[in-house]
Amino acid sequence: MPLEWSSSPPELLLAVDRTSSRPLRAQLEYGLRDAIRTGRLAVGERLPSSRELARALGLSRGLVQECYAQLQSEGYLVTRPGSATRVAAGAAPSPGVARPPHTAAPRMVADFRWGVPDLSGFPVQDWLWATREAARAMPTTQFDYGDPRGSTDLREVLAGYLRRVRAAAACPEHIVVCNGYAQGLGLALRVLADSGVRTVAFEDPGSPATIEAAATAAGLRALPVPVDEHGIDVHALAATDARAVVVTPAHQWPTGVALAPARRLALIEWAAERDAIIIEDDYDAEFRYDREPVGALQGLAPDRVISLGTVSKSLAPALRIGWMVCPPDLAEPLTDQKHRSDRGTPTLDQLALARLIESGRFDRHLRRMRATYAARRTALLAALVEHTPELPLTGLAAGFHAVVHLPACADESHIVAAARARSVGLYGMSTCRAARAATPPQLVLGFGNVGERDIREGIAAVGDLLANGFVE
């Protein structure tokens, strides 16, 4: 696709050497030919007018017109009355210039990729409204770098929102806005490393690749701790030398269990005794169906918990907006780390999010998406009951993924590959385990970005693979 501009003339980087013995017109013709042959100028792309190009290069307009006429006669350019000069349809890069092949991705019957919300459900009109409102009221002083903690407006709105819906002990002064979970985790681990922490523990199964990468970058050792039906095993955690731990207490990733009340208290006690910090990943707490709401762990121990939240699941990953609710003693060093990292998260996006939340449109969006995910959850459950009634299914009480427990004889990787051959995306639990073990064989099925019809068709297409536990 050629680039298109407004009625303003496009810019074009060309150079002429007035010290060369080669005529200026010849230099200009060669430069344009080369730009077309190498693909710098695409077929259909608009060139500057002869007047504008002459002014930009300090040449006479007549020389540029002669150059355009010559290239038009050679078939490189085309000019129509009332239209700009453009690269002709027959002009193409020379055979020696490699162009990336355009291959359309094969259509999937269903792709049960985890961690992705309903991308088509993003509230575009509400976001446009919020952005316009934020830009209209935004004082010129806020176009500067601003507070590295983030916009005061957003931090005040977030503090109120988190107190209201997550029972968090949040105040604006102790919130640092970041560019999503990965950055927040990296900032937290670097600050903890600076304070003397050497080992960070994490849930197993969990997110080993993300946490191990962040720990390595911070100079820390990452250590897996097992998870059972009550959440992370605090006794196993206490047997390590860790002084930090990353947990998902409201909806454990990926098993879906909630951290039991007794384990919550034990974990907080461990942190107090060890002088440790708990990093709480509150990744999809907004979405629950048939269980009571679970408050943020941070509300129980605000001096021991860094709570990380984002809009990646509630709105869309592309926004790259997250936040850290920090213990008072860590707010300043985390702010300093954020400032050194990137000077701040885009202010206009922060203000738009603040407008979206305080207007009530964010809550309305969440209510709509809860209904959408609940319907998809029901469709997934019904499809699995129809095609694989004997397979246990867990983790459905909240979020938008579930765990399918395959027969003990099943080969997880072979089932995933066979399903891909049938244009169905399945994903194994092994990638969520620290040792990448394929046993017990399980699948993590994400249904956030899969429509009800695709869910039914996808499960129907691979039902025999799941039920039998072997590849044809």
CATH number at residue 272: 3.40.640.10
How many whole angstroms separate alpha carbon 163 and alpha carbon 171?
Answer: 9
What is the tens place of the pLDDT at every residue in 282-322? 988 788 877 777 899 999 999 999 999 999 999 999 999 99
Residues 89 and 146 in one domain: no
| pLDDT for position 150 | 96
Burial class of residue 73 (count of CB atoms within 10 Å of its CB; 0-12, 13-18, 19+): exposed
pTM: 0.85
Kind and range of the H or E run holding 407: none
Residues 341 and 374 in one domain: no
**Is residue 1 one of the residues assigned to a domain?**
no
Residues 368 and 461 in one domain: yes
Residues 201 and 330 in one domain: yes
| pLDDT for position 9 | 59
Residues 208 and 326 in one domain: yes
**pLDDT less than 70: residues of the chain:** 1-9, 92-105, 469-472
Q: What total number of domains does the chain contain?
A: 3
How many whole angstroms separate alpha carbon 425 and alpha carbon 405?
Answer: 17
| pLDDT for position 11 | 79
Residues 185 and 76 in one domain: no
How many whole angstroms separate alpha carbon 326 and alpha carbon 150?
Answer: 13
Residues in the chain: 472
**Is residue 139 one of the residues assigned to a domain?**
yes
Residues 351 and 412 in one domain: no
How many whole angstroms separate alpha carbon 332 and alpha carbon 56?
Answer: 50
| pLDDT for position 471 | 47
Q: Which domain holds residue 328?
A: 124-360
What is the tens place of the pLDDT at every residue in 41-75? 888 888 888 889 989 899 999 999 999 989 898 89
Residues 377 and 353 in one domain: no
**Is residue 3 one of the residues assigned to a domain?**
no
How many whole angstroms separate alpha carbon 464 and alpha carbon 387?
Answer: 7
Residues 198 and 346 in one domain: yes
**Is residue 2 one of the residues assigned to a domain?**
no
**Domain final position from 69, 103, 137:** 103
Burial class of residue 117 (count of CB atoms within 10 Å of its CB; 0-12, 13-18, 19+): buried
How many whole angstroms separate alpha carbon 221 and alpha carbon 180?
Answer: 23
DSSP state of 345: -
Residues 354 and 376 in one domain: no
